[in-house]
Structure 1
Amino acid sequence: MPVEIHQTALVEPGAELGEGVRIGPFCQVGPRAVIGAGTELRSHSVVTGFTRLGEACVLHPHAVVGGPPQVIGFQETDESRLEIGDNCTFREYTTAHTGIPKFGGVTKIGNDCFIMVGGHIAHDCHIGNSVVMANNVLIGGHVTVGDNVWFGGLVAVHQFTRIGRNAFIGGGAILVEDVIPFGSVIGNRARLAGLNVVGLKRRGFDKAQLHEIRSAYKAVFSGDGLFKDRLDLAARTFAGKPLAMELIDFILAGGNRAICKPG
């Protein structure tokens, strides 16, 4: 299929466009952009910076991907990059920024992500596959998000936070701590409200798998004694059980933020 470029769009020399790319009215594509086959840029959307946008993506009006980090004094460089996977949707007024070289220089967004109106992904974030962000979700710099994480509207995530796969972040949450895989958090400041059971069932986790995850959750977050002692005991108790150990290992790995716990 041929590339289609509206007569009012600006595609700068050097940009690479895959087969069947469609560039709508008043769009801008920078000279270092690489856009995969079948991707569509709707009116007034922008692909700038050193950005690789995958196949079959859609940018809605006024979406901007590849802008420089929001860091005072930052100088744009080819070492600052953004990589977006296939089949991603960026709705109106969404933004995703390139990385900072001293931290690796790359912001990464996986496949099949859906970023709704006003969403923002800051520099040096690593976003997994099939992540859904509802309206006006703001992700600070250096945040890591696992696969299949869902964000309710108006969530704000502090920089350097880790969010495990299959977690759910409730609408309006202000998240300043790490979220375990399979967890569900709510509130300002956010607290752990249990497991994302609904999401896990939708993704095909069976009763035995849910029981394993739930048992590990209870062992770590409930009962007597210190949190560290419960965690150490759980690591011994659930050795060899992969889903339970995914939750436990996430906590043991640590990060820059504390672990979000029940209220």
Structure 2
Amino acid sequence: MIHSSAVVDPLAEIDPDASVGPFCRVGPYVRIDRGTHLISHVAIYGPTDIGKSNIIHPFASLGGFPQDVKFLDDRRGRLVIGDGNQIREYVTVNRGTAKSDGVTRVADDCLLMNSVHVAHDVTLGSGCVIASDSLLAGHAIIGQYVRLSGGVRVGQFVRLGSYAFAAAGALIDRDVIPYGITAGTDRAAIRGINLVGVRRAGLPDVVVRSLVKAWQILSDRDRPYEDRRDVVRARFGHVIEVLHVLAFMDESRKRGQGVRRTEWRGMSAITPYMRRTIAAPIRVQGVGLHSGISVVMTVLPGCDGIAFRLGGIRTLALPRHISQTVLCTRLGPVSTVEHVMSASGDRESPMSRWKSPRRKYRPLTEALLLSSP
């Protein structure tokens, strides 16, 4: 049924069992299969193919021009939407470009909540749930049954493996392994295995345990990746899900994309990596980012984390702002926190050899300074 107020181009193909509600606009070269319902105020531009039994809510815009300055107005790009999807209010899905195969794909049984943007040449697998205000940049590849919480940003050419989960507000600029969980508003890192997701998917407990143990080995930075991969393949080569993770990581390395492993950037960088690498005291000298005064500090190794020796430095930040750090110290109750960045620490220490990818000019030392009450 087509409402009398809808505008449908003569070149559009609409199944008689499909429904086009009031004030919808359906452009040329659009094909809508049976059972699909356009509630109202939906705009669809061609070339676009929409499968069976989809529900498209008001003010969704599908098949529009790619938001790409190099795009030429031609009909080589298209949008293909599968069956059984729910596309909520203000969702935008752009069609593909000639730079790849020219197709933006949304598979079957997906839920795109309000204000989601799916850019050109994105591939979205079946059974995905994309929460409100999430953005998928061009050429991103999203596997099956992926869950993205609200406000997630996925960068260009990034891949998310099947059953991956992204926490709210995550900024994802590196690949996320299948069955992985990622979080972080500043360059999200993989935090481990998505235990809730894989159990909901019905994976046996023995497979879940294998995935967890395999990731513990793969995320260990003390050994080269090839050694870690060989150990995992020798121990868990009989688990097909683990082999999927290995194949995914191998492909990421070939593409130069890689994965950002757990607890590596930002405030949470003070946990497992430092716990393993700091074997001797490290002297740090620099300027406190919060207090703006000079800081001289000795970082001591702790059996359960990192301890810090202070020299009466006045600090301004509150510990509740970075509560994860408190769990990684042996100072007991913590009253103040100071973030220190230095270029004059011990250059031979593992801590000071970290180099920011955006600051190629010199090594930097990054640490957190804490004081007890």
TM-score by length of 2: 0.68
Other structure's SS at 1:101 match:
coil
Counterpart residue type for residue 130 of structure 2: M
Select between 79-88 and 206-215 the one with higher mean Cα deviation: 206-215
C-alpha displacement of 1:102: 2.5
Partners of 1:223 and 1:118 lie apart in 2 by 39
Mapped to 1, the partners of 2:162 and 2:131 lie a distance apart of: 17
Contact 1:49 1:68 in 2 (8 A): no
Q: Which amino acid aligns with 1:197?
A: L
Following superposition, the deviation at residue 236 of structure 1 comes to 3.8
Partner of 2:239: 241
Correspondence 1:207-246 to 2 at 5 A: 207-222=205-220, 224-246=222-244
1:66 corresponds in structure 2 to 63
Aligned CA RMSD, in angstroms, stands at 1.3
Indicate if the aligned counterparts of 1:96 and 1:123 stay in contact, CA closer than 8 A.
Answer: yes
SS at match of 2:192: strand
SS of equivalent to 1:82: strand
Which residue does 2:25 correspond to in 1? Answer: 28
The gaps in structure 2 that reach 5 residues or longer are: 264-373
Contact 2:128 2:144 in 1 (8 A): yes
Whether the 8 Å contact between 1:125 and 1:144 is mirrored in structure 2 is yes
Choose from 70, 73, 86 the match for 1:89.
86
Show CA shifts across 1:42-92 (max 9, x none).
111111120001110011110011011101152222210111100111100
1:200 counterpart residue number? 198
Residue aligned with 2:99, SS: helix
Q: After the TM superposition, which of the residue ranges 9-18 and 235-244 deviates more from structure 2?
A: 235-244
1:241 CA drift (Å): 2.3
> Letter of the aligned partner of 2:79 in structure 1?
L
Q: Distance in 2 between matches of 1:233 and 1:68?
A: 47
- Residue 228 of structure 1: how far off its partner (Å): 3.9
Deviates more, 1:159-168 or 1:249-258: 249-258
Q: 1:123 aligns with which of 103, 120, 123?
A: 120
Counterpart in the other structure of 2:180: 183
Q: Aligned partners of 2:70 and 2:249: how far apart in 1?
A: 35
Tell me if structure 2 keeps the 8 A contact 1:160–1:256: no
Which residue of 1 is the match for residue 157 of structure 2? 160
Give the aligned partner of residue 259 of structure 1: 259
Deviation at residue 233 of structure 1 after TM alignment? 2.9
Give the deviation of 1:223 after TM superposition: 6.9
Query: Which of 130, 134, 157 does residue 133 from structure 1 map onto?
Result: 130
**1:256 Cα deviation from its structure 2 partner:** 4.7
The Cα of 1:217 is off from its aligned counterpart by 1.1
What code does the residue aligned with 2:262 have?
P
Q: Match of 1:128, as an amino acid?
A: G
Cα distance in 1 between the residues matched to 2:230 and 2:25: 54
User: Per the alignment, in what secondary structure is the counterpart of residue 184 of structure 1?
Assistant: strand
**Cα deviation digits, residues 12-70 of structure 1 (max 9, x gap):** 00111123111111100011000010101111111112000111001111001101110
Separation of aligned partners in 2, 1:103 and 1:73: 13
The 1:32–1:256 alpha-carbon spacing in structure 2 relative to 1, beyond 3 Å, is farther
- Please give the alpha-carbon distance, in whole angstroms, between the structure 2 residues aligned to 1:224 and 1:80: 46
Contact 1:213–1:243, Cα closer than 8 Å, also in 2:
yes
Q: Which has the higher contact order (CA 8 A, sep 6+)?
A: 1
Q: Distance in 1 between matches of 2:246 and 2:62?
A: 35
Q: Is the 8 A contact 1:20 1:38 kept in 2?
A: yes
- 1:145 equivalent to 2:129? Answer no
C-alpha distance in structure 2 between counterparts of 1:83 and 1:219, whole Å:
39
Q: 1:19 & 1:217 partners in 2: Cα distance?
A: 51
> What percentage of aligned pairs have identical amino acids?
35
For the pair shown, which has the larger CA radius of gyration, 1 or 2? Answer: 2
Find the aligned partners of 1:256 and 1:161 in 2 and give their Cα distance. 11
Q: CA deviation at 1:192?
A: 1.0
Q: Distance in 2 between matches of 1:5 and 1:223?
A: 60
Q: Is the 8 A contact 2:249 2:258 kept in 1?
A: no
| 4+ long deviations beyond 4 Å | none
C-alpha contact (below 8 Å) 1:216/1:247 kept by paired residues: no
Range moving further from structure 2, 250-259 or 62-71? 250-259
| Distance in 2 (alpha carbons) for counterparts of 1:130 and 1:41 | 21
